[in-house]
Structure 1
Amino acid sequence: MRAADWLAAADALPVGTIRDLAPEGGLLVVAPHPDDESLGCGGALALAARAGIRTGVVVLSDGSGSHPGSRDWPAERLSALREDEARRACATLGVRADDVRFLRLPDRAVPSSGPAFEAAARTIAAAADAIGAGTLLAPFGGDPHCDHEAGAAIAAHAAALSRTAGARMRLFAYPLWAYALPADAPLSAAPPRGIGLDVTDVLEVKARAIDAHASQLGLIIADDPGGFAIPAWMRAHALSGREPFVEVAS
């Protein structure tokens, strides 16, 4: 399937409410990096908090790879900054501080197998259990980024562990970097089905959460001109008023 066709179908998913997305239990978001929770799921988290649904976030990587050329912000300092930004963003979105977890896996090297993969999946399953999550929102495996691909696999394994333990876990994927694919790029994913969440009522909250990630907006780190910055198109898409969540078959 062409990327453009898949993404158009994802953007045209039937509109649903936060209760359609999370009909029972809490809502847990898996973010490959600090900022993905706000860009991909900020509206869902804000709407869930408004509806009295308990939410949680698990951030997989330490985010230290965004500015590898910076001397002022070496990896350890940058990682701490990015965690602080994520905490502020999550607080803005109504996530309790105790329900935000950081696995501090290496940025650009989140594991797709092995002991660290298993440990990450178990931690996510435990985080889901802690908030009674019935819905898990995870990165899209078709995103052209190694950490998103690995994060999708970890989340799927965590959901399977939760179901094995007796939980009724639903798994949805949120695409981010897939929107950067060329229109004709092949995308090996089934035609999307799921929910298009209308988040216009909480767009201002979502925008503030995204803006909490100031290091990723080019506002803090000045000595690495080649470092990462959230592309303008990504921020614009994140604030379009709609979040697509594609159901992942168990």
Structure 2
Amino acid sequence: MTIDWQRERLLILAPHPDDETLGCGGLMAKAKEAGAEVYVQFMTVGDTADNSARGISTAQERYSEIKQVADFFEWDGWEIAFPGDEYHLKLDRIPRFELANTIEQHSPLSIATLRPTVVITPHWTSYNQDHQVTAEAAHTALRPSNNSLRHHPRVVLAYEEAADQWRYDAVPSPNLLVELTEEHLSAKVKAMGLYCTQAHQHPHTRSETTLRSLAALRGMQTGVALAEGYHTLRLLT
């Protein structure tokens, strides 16, 4: 089957700035090229200890990077649900009820408000606790119900990141592969470069070589040059 991305409104859930690009950068480029609407709900951002010369990336720097990436991809909107050091890398301290309600109803980019046709979440087997709780909260927010009472996106996917494979209970290969052109992949790589506090040289899970290698592997698995992999949670055709 194929998805006519021109007709879709995508909501991508990103625990932190750069997760949406690592997981969905090629698809975002492909969807926007086709005429889709793309929105990104970031869950949190704050000062981040890292391996840079200063040993920290500030929230202000990361806000600046978001704006550059948003302009580059021409997102239709983005929002941060829980900004600040109180929440960054600590989303597992927030009650699941609050996280799920934020995604379902309370955010300006909530499912109830935005009524997306496609929702894409991080994968629940990530080693990162913020990814895990975001995925689980989204799973609750997207629970089955009567479509006349609650909005049901037709397509619900989980994106992958190379680092997810570290989990001992990581799931098998993705079961939905989205073909990319070299232009789509190059856009993903360029956008990741705009997250300059987060990009790294190879060998690293966020390096250009890793992004290109994973796209080549997923493409090979479906007989094309390049692809991004997703796990299907709901697909109504």
Q: Normalised by the shorter chain, which TM-score bucket?
A: 0.7 to 0.9
2:176 to 187, 195, 211: 195
Q: AA paired with 1:60?
A: M
For 2:134 and 2:14, the matched residues in 1 are separated by: 8
Q: AA paired with 1:108?
A: L
For 1:159 and 1:66, the matched residues in 2 are separated by: 33
The equivalences for 1:233-244 within 5 A come to 234-237=210-213, 240=216, 241-244=226-229
TM-score, normalised on structure 2? 0.75
* Cα displacement (A) at 1:179: 2.3
Q: Counterpart of 1:110? A: 91
TM-score, normalised on structure 1? 0.71
Q: Counterpart of 2:151? A: 167
Superposed CA deviations along residues 157-183 of structure 1, whole A, max 9, x for unmatched, are: 2323895743231211012122234xx
SS of residue paired to 2:62: helix
RMSD value, Cα: 3.3
Q: Counterpart of 2:222? A: none
Q: AA paired with 2:80?
A: F
After TM superposition, the structure 1 stretch with the greater mean CA deviation from structure 2, 148-157 or 228-237, is 228-237
Q: AA paired with 2:129?
A: C
Structure 1: tracts of 5 or more residues without a match: 1-15, 220-227
1:89 to 69, 75, 80: 69
Q: AA paired with 1:212?
A: L
Superposed CA deviations along residues 66-100 of structure 1, whole A, max 9, x for unmatched, are: 439986857xxx1121122122112212212xx11
For 1:133 and 1:107, the matched residues in 2 are separated by: 26
For 2:101 and 2:46, the matched residues in 1 are separated by: 19
For 1:154 and 1:117, the matched residues in 2 are separated by: 6
Structure 2: tracts of 5 or more residues without a match: 217-225
2:206 to 190, 213, 230: 230
2:78 to 97, 100, 121: 100
Is 1:65 equivalent to 2:35 in the alignment?
no
Is 1:40 equivalent to 2:23 in the alignment?
yes
The alpha-carbon distance between structure 1 residues 193 and 107, as it changes in their structure 2 partners (threshold 3 A), is: same
**Residues 45, 94 of structure 1: 8 Å contact kept:** no
For 1:229 and 1:245, the matched residues in 2 are separated by: 18
The alpha-carbon distance between structure 1 residues 149 and 35, as it changes in their structure 2 partners (threshold 3 A), is: same
Q: Counterpart of 1:209? A: 191
Q: Percent identity?
A: 19
Superposed CA deviations along residues 106-162 of structure 1, whole A, max 9, x for unmatched, are: 222113634542443234584344444111000000111111111101221232389
Aligned residues: 215
Q: Counterpart of 2:230? A: 245
**Residues 120, 154 of structure 1: 8 Å contact kept:** no
The alpha-carbon distance between structure 1 residues 231 and 144, as it changes in their structure 2 partners (threshold 3 A), is: farther
